[in-house]
Amino acid sequence: MITIPLAILSVGLGIWRFEYDSGVAEALADRTLFSTAIAISRDTATLSGDLISVATRDIITNATGGEIYYHVAEAGGFHLTGYAYPPVDFDYSALKIGEPVFANATYRGEPVRVVALKSIGILSGFERSYIVTAWQSVASRKNLQLELALRTFALFSVLIIVLGVVVWIAVKRGLRPLQRIEKELSHRSANDLKPIAAPVPAELDETMRLLNELLSQLKISLEQQHDFVSDAAHQLRNPAAAVSALVSTFSEAASDEDRKEQLKQLKRAARQGLRVSQQLLSLERIDSLGALERAEHINLNEIAFAVCQDMAPELIKAGIDFEYIQSDDSLMCLADSVAITEALRNLIDNAEKHGGERLTRVTVETFRLPDRVCIRVADDGADLKPEDTDRVFSRFRQLQPSEGSGLGLSIAYTAAIKNGGTLEIDKVTSGASLTLSLPCANQR
């Protein structure tokens, strides 16, 4: 994976470098061609156009880009020195004294690069103008460009190879901590969720901390799930066993009165089993909620009214006074309506199930605080103190044995927390009072 980007990079750099070197070689050869024309022009003026100096001949022979050819003639066309005929396809009409003109032309069927320079000098005792034409084979220049390109390619190849080796070694060394983690995890069982102890560089400390926190949370979640399944099986076993026993003895009842009593007990056991199942499903649903995952704008007054309207007849039928006090304010909040409804139903059900013999009244009240909306469920039954919070909000826990499952307050507490609220046991002189509060909609 590393070699492919490096290869692409090397090709791109090679193309760029070839273009750059070609331009440099072209400019260098033109400069050499122009310098040669100047040297020939000087020698023409110095030696009256018959010969050129040894130094100039060395320049011509060993010029960058290949040998240089030249032609010197007066402005009128009289040949002075050099080759007899200059390259064709070259326009001499635009020449100005001292200003070189470069062009591409053809000499003996071969493309050449030409420079023409017009000068003034003393020839045979008279001041006359003359033109120096110098040219060089384009093929020789191409050979120079190719030579520079090959050198560049060789240099880049070495650099890319060295870079590839260095990167490969660096990546291999950098992956060693991950390989140690992989090795440690490969030897673990599916139930081994202890923190990863493999040493890592400082750059990965935060990543490892978060990963170990995730493993710890997953371990706690799995332990809670295991405990929940065990407790749920235990809670469902009792009503199931009761139903089984009552069914098996129902046909053996001695009288109609015994059958009626057994049928009544059978219905009670069946209702208890059904209620435990419903509560377990509610708890699982609420537990699976993310933070405000299914939240919507709801009016707490509407939720409370609907729940009280549904549950009040059963409590009144059982001889319990039921009162609902609704706030005059609009109690808008952002919450999961199903979870809050289930929480309130469980608070009222808890008051009925655990109120004991003293229970004669249940009151549901909605009210508003400066930044919160609240529902309070109070009863005059068995006492419930703030110091009992940890115990009664735990799953399958009860202060006193009763027909309840021990899940009601846990469901209500979980629903409140998942929706950004709280459930608290109020301090009262007698009975029980619990307040569920949620942030106002404009406080989110």
Query: What is the domain-level CATH number for residue 387?
Result: 3.30.565.10
**pLDDT for the residue numbered 379:** 94
Nearest Cα to Cα of residue 416 among 351, 339, 363? 339
Structural domain ending residue among the three candidates 246, 263, 288: 288
pLDDT, tens digit, 9 for 90 and up, residues 181-197: 878 778 777 777 788 87
Nearest CA-CA partner of 279 in 382, 362, 396: 396
Q: Which residues pair with 363 in a beta bridge?
A: 323, 378
230 and 95 in a common domain:
no
Would you say 115 and 30 are in contact if contact means Cβ atoms under 8 Å apart? yes
* Total of domains in the chain: 3
Q: Which residues of the chain have pLDDT under 50?
A: none
**Tokens read off for 365:** 């009240």
Encoded tokens for 227: 């405990």
Where is 150: in which H helix or E strand?
Answer: helix 138-174
| Residue 425 lies inside a defined structural domain of this protein | yes
Residue 173 belongs to a domain: no
- Bridge partners of 439? 372
For residue 409, the model assigns a pLDDT of 86
State whether 300 and 439 are in the same domain: yes
Residue 107: the pLDDT is 87
pTM for this entry = 0.48
Task: Please tell me the distance from the alpha carbon of residue 327 to that of residue 321, in angstroms, as a whole number.
Answer: 20
Same domain, 296 and 404: yes
Both 281 and 200 in one domain: the answer is yes
Co-location of 255 and 357 in the same domain: no
The pLDDT score that the predictor gives to residue 228 is 63
53 found inside a domain: yes
Domain boundary residue, one of 267, 288, 309:
288
Instruction: Please give the Cα distance from 387 to 408 (Å, whole number).
Output: 18
Inside any domain, residue 108: yes
Same domain, 259 and 320: no
For residue 112, what is the domain's CATH number?
A: 3.30.450
**Is there a domain that residue 301 lies in?**
yes
Tell me the one-letter amino acid at 203: E
Residues 102 and 236 in one domain: no
Specify the pLDDT at position 400.
60
pLDDT at 364: 96
Q: Give the model's pLDDT for residue 429.
A: 92
Do 227 and 363 sit in the same domain of this protein?
Answer: no
Residues 77 and 145 in one domain: yes
Classified as helix, coil or strand, 289 is coil
* Residue 307 located in a structural domain: yes
Strands across the sheet containing 321-325:
321-325, 361-368, 372-379, 432-439, 422-425
pLDDT digits (tens, 9 = 90+) for 225-263: 766 666 566 555 556 666 666 666 666 666 777 767 767
212 shares a domain with 98: no
- What confidence score (pLDDT) does residue 57 get? 77
Q: Specify whether 301 is located in the same domain as 434.
A: yes
Residues 10, 50: one domain? yes
Amino acid at 22: S
Which pLDDT score is estimated for 378?
Answer: 95
Residue 175 lies in a domain: no
Q: Which domain holds residue 429?
A: 291-443
CB 386 within 8 A of CB 425: yes
| Surface-to-core class of residue 119, CB atoms within 10 Å of its CB (0-12 exposed, 13-18 middle, 19+ buried) | buried
pLDDT of the residue at 321: 94
In a domain, 426, yes or no: yes
The angle, 0 to 180 degrees and rounded to 10, between the axes of the packed helices 256-287 and 337-354 is: 140
Task: Give the whole-angstrom CA distance, residue 320 versus residue 299.
Answer: 27
